[in-house]
Chain A
Amino acid sequence: MNDIQLQNIRAEFPILQEKIYNKELIYFDNGATTQKPKCVIDRITFGYEHLNANIHRGVHYLSQKATEAHEDARTVVANFLGAKTREEIIFTRGTTEAINLIAFSFGEAFCTEGDEVIVSELEHHANIVPWQMLCERKKMKLRVIPINENGELDVDAYKSLLNEKTKIVAIAHVSNVLGTINPVKEIIQIAHQQNVPVLVDGAQAVPHIKVDVVELDADFYVFSGHKIYGPTGIGALYGKAKWLNQIPPYQGGGEMIATVSFEKTTYNELPFKFEAGTPDYIGSTALAEALKYVEMIGLDQIAEHEHSLLTYCTERLINEIEGIRIIGTAKEKSAVISFLVGNIHPYDIGMLLDKLGIAVRTGHHCAQPLIDSLGIPGTVRASFALYNTKSEIDVFVDALKKVVGMLG
């Protein structure tokens, strides 16, 4: 990506023009949420101004148009993930709801007392707590794949955890704290040798890596729209039709039914069986717009750009910040840098960087078990997106020097 391309991209994100404490905003909290390009913001406005009517059931013109837009969005998501059929895409509120859906519905259909679920040590709470709730409900056991000192999964340990009681494996594609890109294809292959399905939490992966669910052979793949330049409150669950057909609905209500009587309700077919209530058809269409935007720029180009930022920033930090410790040094790493400096508390660094107009995240990043296992109070995390630049990193590194000087 050359400078002109990058400047053109930045111009499409209105918020990047904001001043924070009279300073240019430097937004390095993309792992938490990304900023939105004008086309996504415009699509939301367009939806409410021109295409707003409740979908699927209406016979009138606007309802049909809104329905088409929502269903076209489903096709966009299906193509984006490489799904075989569009019916395998369920719109959810995001990654968290998608994981809860599977933990509940899969659990109801396939899990009983004594069964086991495997997760890993580097999971976000969203990929821990729903499984813990399942384990509590069904009296099952949660097994945890450990990581090595670089923040990489211990695949041998994983193999030894898999057994005839394992019902499902749930694993992050990319760690939100460490940036580790997990070998999910291998993990899935190993699980499939024992006929165990795998759910992949793709929240931190889809904005950065080209994902093909068929090539990965993932049974379930989930992500959030807002982390890939889309709106909040919308995300998607991909599930192989063979699984989605076998598991019960997660919520009941309108849309998800075929027939309702007080004696018996029959459920709708895929994907509607899992979309109770009025879907977020404005959100889905804006999400599709975001995915099209990402595809227009090209994930390969985005990945290359972000990787160059990751390398540049990591090198500058290591060379210029005394006492810095990078948390997460996996060989395969996404554009996330978690770090600590000496004994300085992450909160102090984050607060002072904020005063300099730089948005980073501090704390346990909703991955408390991981932070506890590392024996640290949390980290400062800088996470990059396609619109970030090397000159922003220059400002960041200089600001960090100043901040460390004040605190050291």
Chain B
Amino acid sequence: MSIIDLQDEIIEEFSMFDDWMDKYALLIDLGNSLEPLNTENKTPQNIIEGCQSRVWLHAEMHEGNVIYYGESDAVLVKGIVSLLIKVLSNHTPDEIINTDLYFIEQIGLREHLSPTRSNGLLAMVKQMKMFALAYKAKS
């Protein structure tokens, strides 16, 4: 599926809920079911420091596609990490670099990406694209 299709799928999934509590319950579920990062990849180099919570991000290249792995110490952040991975993972560097991430705003979770929340998510999105750029340069 393309990045656009994946985003639209998430938007549809979240649109089933009118109530913010249900939306957040889904986000918490997503966070809790995110595969924990291997200890060998949970290194200080992979930390994206936020003021409040931390995000770990690791990327690998597999058959021309970037695969992302991530984690956070806060479950809501972990939920969003899981969504970002779902959308961006398994795509080529070019697809990732040129993508416009609109789904977070559309599902009403924009505040998590605002700079004031200082949770490392904004930096994570940047870092995901940086990884893609780095892999593109390598190839």
Contact = CB atoms under 8 A, between A and B. Distances in A.
Interface residues of A, number: 16
Given A377-B73, A407-B75, A346 B24 contact: no
B24 A352 contact: yes
B90 interface: no
16 contacts: A344-B75, A345-B73, A345-B74, A347-B53, A347-B74, A347-B76, A347-B119, A348-B74, A348-B75, A348-B76, A352-B76, A355-B20, A363-B51, A363-B52, A377-B73, A407-B28
Interface in A28-62: none
A351 interface: yes
Interface of A: 21, 344-348, 351-352, 355, 362-364, 377-378, 406-407
Contacts of B28: 406-407
A357 to B, nearest CB: 11
B24 A406 contact: yes
Interface residues of B, number: 16
Which 8 pairs of residues, A with B, have the shortest CB-CB distance?
A: A345-B74, A347-B74, A363-B52, A347-B53, A347-B52, A348-B76, A348-B74, A348-B75
A345 B24 contact: no
The interface residues of chain B, by DSSP majority, are classed as helix
Interface in B47-94: 51-53, 73-77
B86 to A, nearest CB: 20
Nearest to B112: A351
B115 to A, nearest CB: 15
A169 B112 CA distance: 40
A7 B53 CA distance: 38
Contacts of A347: 52-53, 74, 76-77, 119
Interface of B: 20-21, 24-25, 28, 51-53, 73-77, 112, 118-119
A345 B53 contact: yes
Nearest to A377: B73
Nearest to B31: A348
A346 B51 CA distance: 12
Contacts of B118: 363
Nearest to A366: B51
A329 to B, nearest CB: 24
Nearest to A351: B76
From B51, B52, B118, residue with most partner A Cβ within 10 Å: B52
Nearest to B75: A348
Contacts of A378: 52
Contacts of A352: 24, 76
B116 to A, nearest CB: 12
B136 to A, nearest CB: 33
Contacts of B74: 345, 347-348
A139 B118 CA distance: 34
A352 B24 CA distance: 8
A345 B75 contact: yes
Given A345-B74, A407-B28, 14 more contacts: A344-B75, A345-B75, A347-B77, A347-B119, A352-B24, A355-B20, A355-B21, A355-B24, A362-B52, A363-B52, A364-B52, A377-B73, A378-B52, A406-B28
Contacts of B20: 21, 355
Contacts of B119: 347
A86 B21 CA distance: 55
Contacts of B53: 345, 347, 377
Nearest to B79: A348
B98 to A, nearest CB: 31
A129 to B, nearest CB: 16
